[in-house]
Amino acid sequence: MHLNGVSVADTFAEAFPITGARLVITAATVEWAAIAANALTGYATSVIACDVEAALEAPLEPCETPDGRPGVSVLMFAFSRDALGRAMVGRVGQCVLTCPTTACYNGLAECPSEKQVSVGGQLRFFGDSHQSSKKLAGRRFWRIPVMDGEFLCEDRFGVVKGVAGGNLIICGVDQSATLNAATSAARAIRTLRDVILPFPGGIVRSGSKVGSRYKQLKASTNDAYCPTLRGVVDSDLPWAANAVYEIVIDGLSFASVRQAMQVGLHAACAAPGVVRVTAGNYGGKLGPHHIFLRELLDSPGAPG
């Protein structure tokens, strides 16, 4: 298969179920909201070794936030509701509560059937009995006194079953061209809502395979795509490819991850120097969500 003259492997990305939440962080300025979000999403690239996978989803205009202030939305994902709840309490408490002028809200409040975890209900104890609560439109909020006024945090946050591990593997002629293509793909995907790219800059240089020769490791380097190992392993690299980058996508639904892959595929294949785009799967053993590249060749619709 080909797209814009680039070879596209006839394969699928294998994604798996995961539990997700959306946090809305507001502040006096969007810059302070982004500072809190960047701290909140630190060390959150892969559940192989991190407690969550998390990243900034989108900046928000004042008309999009509960308190009419500028803000950002963040998506967080973990393997279970309990694990996600623990991570949210810890990260909101250490990174948002501590940040000047911020407030934090449930970004899935419009999903009436959602399950929930307690966040503000746990952080309220920091108020040392001086905290207070209000209930507005069926939602409870905690007011926790801090040194610049009050930290307002919603009592409970909704969680949903999402999809993790959507991916594109971009093979290019050299490091510069391949990184440019991956950057274009990541930039295009970031125009979408309901998805995040949890790795630094949205791009993975250290793609992994399941397992290792070292028993203590769950994953190890994807040697089939390492250019320096081409002569000593069964390489999957095209002969003209000398660099590979991977895009990994998490989303609140299968449809959102599929759309992100489609947008990313078209952006990558429009960049010069790309030899092949493929995807990672484990023969259907990792997860039930299979996104076939063949079905993504049509032009994507407008961002949702």
What percent of the chain clears pLDDT 90, i.e. is strictly above it? 90
- Assign a CATH topology to domain 18-160: Alpha-Beta Plaits (3.30.70)
Q: What is the pLDDT of residue 285?
A: 73
- Assign a CATH topology to domain 2-14+163-296: Alpha-Beta Plaits (3.30.70)
Q: Are 179 and 173 in contact (CB under 8 A)?
A: no
| pTM of structure | 0.94
Instruction: Please tell me the distance from the alpha carbon of residue 181 to that of residue 192, in angstroms, as a whole number.
Output: 18
The domain locations on the chain are 2-14+163-296, 18-160
* 2-14+163-296 and 18-160 have identical folds: yes
Q: What is the pLDDT of residues 193-215, one digit of tens each?
A: 999 999 999 999 999 988 899 99
Q: What is the pLDDT of residue 303?
A: 54
Q: What is the pLDDT of residues 74-118, one digit of tens each?
A: 999 999 999 999 999 999 999 999 999 999 999 999 876 679 999
| Alpha helices by DSSP H, 166-245 | 175-189
Q: What is the pLDDT of residue 204?
A: 98
Instruction: Please tell me the distance from the alpha carbon of residue 28 to that of residue 38, in angstroms, as a whole number.
Output: 16
Q: What is the pLDDT of residue 304?
A: 47
Of 127, 77, 61, 109, the closest CA to residue 249 belongs to: 77
Instruction: Please tell me the distance from the alpha carbon of residue 86 to that of residue 290, in angstroms, as a whole number.
Output: 30
Residues of the chain with pLDDT under 50: 304
